[in-house]
Amino acid sequence: MLSKVDFSESLKKKIYLLDGAMGTMIQAQNLQEQDYRGKRFEDHKVDLKGNNDLLTLTKPELIEEIHCSFLKAGSDIIETNTFNSNAISQSDYSLEHVTYELNLEGARLAKKAINKINPAALVAGVLGPTNRTASLSPDVSDPAARNVTFDYLVENYHEAINGLVDGGADIILIETVFDTLNAKATIINTIPNINP
């Protein structure tokens, strides 16, 4: 992982181009349920269509191809396909158990594409906000109610970040912050991985 100093110094010398929207590129493929399942999850009891992060495991060649297309277009930073690769979001598909693997392979796949096209590019390990909010009640009649705890968010992000770092992510990108408490749970996890 890059040190904070190295990345800050590099930003003074170069404008980095971030890649485009992974979800849009995936949607253009008109994938069906079997594409998401692949061989590994063909007997899974829950529908998997729409779980774009799972394609990292079931259609890695497609995700790598998308990464390569952004690199060929001039991107300097490639985002991992891990926006929903956390136990909370994956619980919608009963796939909490593959969270670490999704992040690990997501970072490895982005790095593989970079090594093919532009070894100077960087992998941004993406952390999405989850589909829960720690600051607001999901029940309008009970303002104090919460469907997630701060500690569980911290634990959730810890697993995801470990996978991204182990897979070779150069930087961590906290994406789509709609709840500052969720974002704080993410930031707490990134501090030990940042070199002074």
DSSP labels for 24-39? HHHHTT---HHHHHTT
Report pTM: 0.89
pLDDT at 3: 63
Give the CATH architecture of domain 4-193.
Answer: Alpha-Beta Barrel (3.20)
Q: What are the domain boundaries of the chain?
A: 4-193
pLDDT at 82: 97
Instruction: Give 10-residue mean pLDDT values along the chain (196 residues).
Output: 72 92 94 96 96 98 98 97 95 96 98 96 93 74 77 90 95 87 80 47
